[in-house]
A and B are shown apart, each in its own frame.
Chain A
Amino acid sequence: MIEVRNVTKRFGTQEVLKGASLRIDRGEAVVIIGRSGGGKSVLLKHLVALLQPDSGQVLVDGQNLCALTERELLRVRRKFGMLFQGAALFDSLTVFENVAFVLERERTHTPAEIKRLVAEALEWVELPGIENKKPAELSGGMRKRVGLARAIVYRPEILLYDEPTTGLDPVAGANIDGLIRRVWEKLNVTSIAVTHDMPSARRISNRILMLRDGVIYADGPTNDILSSTDPVVNHFVNGIPSGKTTF
């Protein structure tokens, strides 16, 4: 279970989070929506302690991440897998080395086991047999899928997705959404994504949180949020420009 309590975060003079609070239970598929530059990715990075709040608390299974050192956080982060916006694959390593990264660092698996687990993870993301390619040889969609394979290969409990469909064409985006949905259903993980892509949010979540002005403005089941009559939520999910009247 993840709980965020009154988190504030400021970068220079810009206050991005102004007391955001949320609670996500095990097994949920949650999407955080909000405008570009509104602090969604910042909030997501707080969940895995890649950023520390100026005030407030982030609790994972009751453990306050703000009170832990970087080394202590490494143990907590083992529960997480994260797919970054640009996939963040290690340029100097092959696909195999990227996906096997955690397994090889942990030194608890034999080379044969690692090979099998990597092949399985690549099968999961429908990219078998590309172990020897370098990230530079892959398309944007393939990079995201390899990033997903790297995130699931060690079976984390919580998966975080930072703008999983940004930069992809609609078909590639829908494929990634399908994978995210399948991973959530089959691997029994907690899934948390940030996006401003509404079709994607509909496909991959059963609950939506809306971040606005640094706080959680709306929170509810996906269908309720997408059909909300609240003008702010309605304008955002339907892409109606602010300050304009509806026809």
Chain B
Amino acid sequence: MVLALLQNRIRNFLRELGELAEITGEAVASIRHRRPSWKDFIAQLHFVGVKSQSVVITTGAATGMVLCAQTYFQFHKVKMDTATGAVVSVGMSSELGPVLACLMLTARVGAAMAAELGTMKVTEQIDALRTLATHPVDYLVVPRLIACTVAAPLLTAEAVVVGITASWLVGVHLLGIDSAYYLANMNRYTSPEDILTGLIKSTLFGAAIAMVGCYKGLTCRGGAEGVGRATTEAVVSSSITILVANFFLTLFLTRLFKV
């Protein structure tokens, strides 16, 4: 019984993975061989990039401040207060910036994509698209994929800058760390590779958010309940994808940059 259930789960997981790979392949082929619509891309870029500003800035600032405070509290015990800036900078650039900014994007953008496309599916709008001689991947997936892939690294960079600035304010003006040492250690220990790592990660995470959100929406079944389920699954799957992929990307990119 348990074995059968497990087998069923694994089979479903592999089937979904295969379908996701198929839609991703179709989207990449569409980008390569067809002319994506600028109008649709700009609309999506506005939705993903511009309208996510407040959530990303808040996330970046809150993360930078709390990371600064916690690091300071521990480092202060061993008289390493001035290394706080370096820890915040490296942590925000390569790990916390991309992961937390993209998790917030998942909640805001991935969920919206799954809900919008899911509603279109259950109200036959996707079928209508197909009868109007339009491939749903060309019209719905490609603009969202490009917009998320472009917007995610930009939003991450914004979150990192805001986070580091907020940490400097907390560290220097609230906790009393010397500004010159704070900035000097930050510059000394933060390498271009750390920043590049964060940008590469967030680019891949952005693509994953768009593809998982669109896939869950396009394969939604049932009415309102199905749309709700697709939205939840999109957020859960994208979040897990980001967290798991982050670990492997950290290992891979660290080795790559060492070479």
Binding site for B on A (CB under 8 A): 45, 48, 50, 70-71, 73-75, 77-78, 80-82, 84-86, 88-92, 101-102, 105, 150, 160
Contact = CB atoms under 8 A, between A and B. Distances in A.
Interface in B206-226: none
A75 B133 contact: yes
A45 B128 CA distance: 11
Contacts of A80: 131
B37 to A, nearest CB: 8
A84 B133 contact: no
Contacts of A89: 125, 128
Interface of B: 116, 119-120, 123-125, 127-128, 130-135, 139
A84 B124 contact: yes
A84 B100 CA distance: 42
Nearest to A82: B131
Contacts of B139: 105
Contacts of B124: 84-86, 88
20 contacts: A73-B130, A74-B134, A77-B132, A77-B133, A78-B133, A82-B128, A84-B124, A84-B127, A86-B123, A88-B123, A88-B124, A88-B125, A88-B128, A89-B128, A90-B125, A90-B128, A91-B120, A102-B133, A105-B139, A150-B132
B131 A48 contact: yes
A-B complex: 9 closest residue pairs judged by Cβ atoms = A88-B128, A88-B124, A82-B131, A78-B133, A74-B133, A84-B124, A77-B133, A88-B125, A50-B127
Nearest to A51: B127
Contacts of B119: 91
A85 B134 CA distance: 20
B112 to A, nearest CB: 12
Nearest to B125: A88
A105 B131 contact: no
Contacts of B135: 70-71, 74
A91 B132 CA distance: 16
Nearest to B43: A92
Contacts of A102: 132-134
Nearest to B132: A102
B123 A77 contact: no
Contacts of A71: 135
Nearest to A79: B133
A217 to B, nearest CB: 27
Contacts of A81: 131
Contacts of A160: 131
Nearest to A160: B131
Nearest to A84: B124
A82 B125 CA distance: 12
B131 A50 contact: yes
B143 to A, nearest CB: 12
A24 B123 CA distance: 28
B222 to A, nearest CB: 13
Contacts of A50: 127, 130-131
Please indicate which of the listed interface residues A74, A78, A150, A160 has the most CB atoms of chain B within 10 Å of its own CB. A74
A172 B249 CA distance: 60
Contact of A88 (B116, B127, B134): B127
Given A70-B135, A71-B135, A77 B125 contact: no
A82 B134 CA distance: 13
Nearest to B119: A91
Nearest to A50: B127
